[in-house]
Amino acid sequence: MRWLRWLVPAVLVMTWLGIAGVGGPTFGRLDEVSSIDQASFLPRSAEATEAGDWQAKFRESDEVPAVVVVESGEPFTPAQLGEAARLKTDIEALRLGSAVVGPIPSEDGKAVQFIVPIASPDGLRDTVKDLRDVVQPGAPDGMRAFVTGPAGLTADLVNAFGGIDGILLLVALGAVFVILLLVYRSLVLPVAVLLTSVFALCAAILLVFGMAKLGWIQLNGQSQGILSILVIGAATDYALLYVARFREALTHTSNRTRAVLTAWKASFEPILASGATVIIALLCLLFSDLNSNKALGPVAAAGIVCSLFAALTLLPAFMAMLGRAAFWPFRPKRLPDDEREPELVTGLEGQKGLWRRVGSLVSRRPRLVWVVSVVLLLAASAGVLQLKANGVPQTDVILSASDAVDGQDALARHFDAGSGSPVVVVASQGAARQVLDKVKAADGVGDAYLLAEGSVPITGAPGAPAEPAVRDGKVLINATLNSAADSIQAEETVKELRASVKEADAGALVGGVTAIALDTNTTAQRDLAVIIPIVLVVILAILMLLLRSVVAPVLLVLSVVLSYGAAMGVSAWVFNGIFAFPGADATVPLFGFVFLVALGVDYNIFLMSRVREESLKHGTRPGILRGLGVTGGVITSAGVVLAATFAALGVIPIMFLVQLAFIVAFGVLLDTVLVRSLLVPALAYELGARIWWPGKLSTKRARHAVRDDELVEGQPVR
């Protein structure tokens, strides 16, 4: 049956080539099923969502307003006002939507604005570009023109996400390739591992595109970027674990097929368990009320599923074809029988270099090691108190140069800062005047008016409409805020408005851009409180099943929670003191928790599953040191790879992604270097066989090992 040794790997590789051939081109089509509409992320029960539904009944189209601001250092002269008025003609010639409103001069006379409705939100980026190409060259001499408002900010956000398809992937793959070259000093193996990751990503993209096309999930730019990074990092991690087992198997046999199968059997359970842990933790996001969080769960879980299948099918097929040549020029040699499996007494036998020194430290001073580790993590966790994760203004989300952000600043200098993005109040027809009075009296409101048919303001001026538009007994009120629509001050004004208008009309609703941001932050805080306990319980249950123990899973979960707290604490200091960020998106702590806890447990599964395997043969304490020694290099390499891939998110100039990149990259390194290498082994070593309680291993003594209580500082009692 020798031909099967080539046929099965060839069929697997050809199958994956077919998947990649279909999934690769789909990468460029994700924009077709992706959305950046923040309102669509809210639950149906949110007040802003209900208000938006009522607004839709008054609208004749789905127009998105752009605000054109023309600014001068001096008050406009009559001639300059005439030039600005002619600019309106040029804008109208673009035929972007309904009638252009303006020019509206500012009170200081140094700026004018136009409200430009855009009727084709699907092609917003190109439409805004066309608008900028007209208004910026057409501004009067010595003046600056900006295109801002909801349409301008959305277009710049889309542009900022533009690097996800290309730059992000190239940076991530380049970083992984360099790390693999340094780790394995092989020219062939990094290519095989990267191909495994890329093919897994192609499969994930195909799967996610199909789910989004069918309407099962809601894809956005953030989920898209995280998907790419997560698949590359996870597939590479699983591949490294398999490669380590394959290399080990090659020292025991000269038959490549036997080595492939031996490695597959040895790595299947830990890879499957770690992947299942991450998948289930990610699917816990389905309990989220915020649709953007809820969508990330199945998107990222689909990526992990594809990573698992690729690591357990495609990579073994590559190894079956390549054999020892995969490690060229440093091919592993088959060891003589008497050098293959040293009989363990202390657990340090056969180990050399760094991991022997780490194991020796853990065995000689276990209590000192874990106490110092815990103190360091607790000290770092203190920074959590400085974390400002209550949302940031939309103008601060984009970290690169943005014409829309500059335009918002210009609006704030010369107009009511909320101009162009009004708060919308939905009120009963009978209570309309009372509600309007409440809105006008509220602190932070610059102006307010009822809306007639066609969204025309009822101002009381001669010739202006006198009666408001009515839909099912409801009317609309627009309110312009003194603060920028995306500011914290504007959100506070909305909170006060919601309380005051309900005094006049219990069924009144307050919506608009500011209300959407407020409800998004509120929902995100609720999700954080609900999902964290669910994730912890699920992970604890999985670990108990895998390790057949209660004590070990509890300690592992506590260790990754402590690691998460330390990562968030250090991140808060970095964000505030180094980057001077104004705050963080309200979803950052939740995303950071899900990824760090799930991935932190991932590495502990790699470690403790090997420790359990060695403990069955040699006893718990020697098994801990043996497991630490043989997994140390591969898990550290995997951690560096995952940190590097998540760090690649930092190339996208979006504050949320930059912050998530730092949190996960730093947290993974912290977990890999300190928690998994020192804290967990030291705690386990001090507890000895009790770590497996109440499983049988807690009382089992290996045939060739001294008892745990016969070891003193890692050495047997003579």
* CATH class of the domain comprising 403-518: alpha beta
Query: Binning pLDDT at 50, 70 and 90, where does residue 462 land?
Result: low
Listed range (69-78, 273-282, 503-512, 563-572) with the worst mean pLDDT: 69-78
Domains 1-33+186-336 and 403-518 are alike in CATH topology: no
Rounded to whole angstroms, the Cα distance separating 56 from 64 reads 12
The predicted structure's pLDDT at residue 615 = 85
pLDDT digits (tens, 9 = 90+) for 112-169: 888 888 876 667 778 888 888 888 887 777 788 888 887 888 888 877 776 555 677 7
Q: Which is nearest to 245 in space by CA: 316, 314, 349, 335? A: 316
| Spatial contact of 109 and 39, defined as CB atoms under 8 Å apart | no
Rounded to whole angstroms, the Cα distance separating 585 from 595 reads 16
Name the superfamily (CATH) of residues 1-33+186-336. Multidrug efflux transporter AcrB transmembrane domain (1.20.1640.10)
Domain boundaries, the chain: 1-33+186-336, 61-160, 353-386+548-713, 403-518
Q: What is the 3-state secondary structure (H, E, C) of 454-482?
A: HHCECCCCCCCCCCCCCECCEEEEEEEEC
Percent of the chain exceeding pLDDT 70 equals: 88
Is the pTM higher than 0.95? The answer reads no
Q: What is 61-160's CATH number, 1.10.10.10, 3.30.70.260, 1.10.510.10, 1.10.260.40?
A: 3.30.70.260
The predicted structure's pLDDT at residue 61 = 63
Rounded to whole angstroms, the Cα distance separating 515 from 686 reads 54
Q: How far apart are the first and last CA of the chain?
A: 53
Rounded to whole angstroms, the Cα distance separating 296 from 301 reads 8
The predicted structure's pLDDT at residue 347 = 58
Q: Say which CATH architecture domain 353-386+548-713 belongs to.
A: Up-down Bundle (1.20)
| Spatial contact of 439 and 448, defined as CB atoms under 8 Å apart | yes
Rounded to whole angstroms, the Cα distance separating 625 from 627 reads 5
Query: Binning pLDDT at 50, 70 and 90, where does residue 564 land?
Result: very high
pLDDT digits (tens, 9 = 90+) for 32-62: 666 655 555 667 778 888 888 888 887 766 6
Contacts 24+ apart (CB under 8 A), 612-615: 612/547, 612/692, 612/697, 614/344, 614/347, 615/692, 615/697, 615/702
Query: Binning pLDDT at 50, 70 and 90, where does residue 667 land?
Result: very high
Listed range (56-70, 153-167, 685-699) with the worst mean pLDDT: 153-167
Strand partners, 113: 69, 104
User: Which residues lie below 8 Å from residue 232, measured CB to CB, with a gap of 6+?
Assistant: 169, 172, 173, 176, 197, 198, 201, 645
> Can you tell me the mean pLDDT for 425-437?
87
The predicted structure's pLDDT at residue 125 = 78
> Can you tell me the mean pLDDT for 277-301?
85
- Taking CA atoms, 328 is separated from 115, 147, 249, 324, 347, in Å, by 65, 57, 16, 7, 31
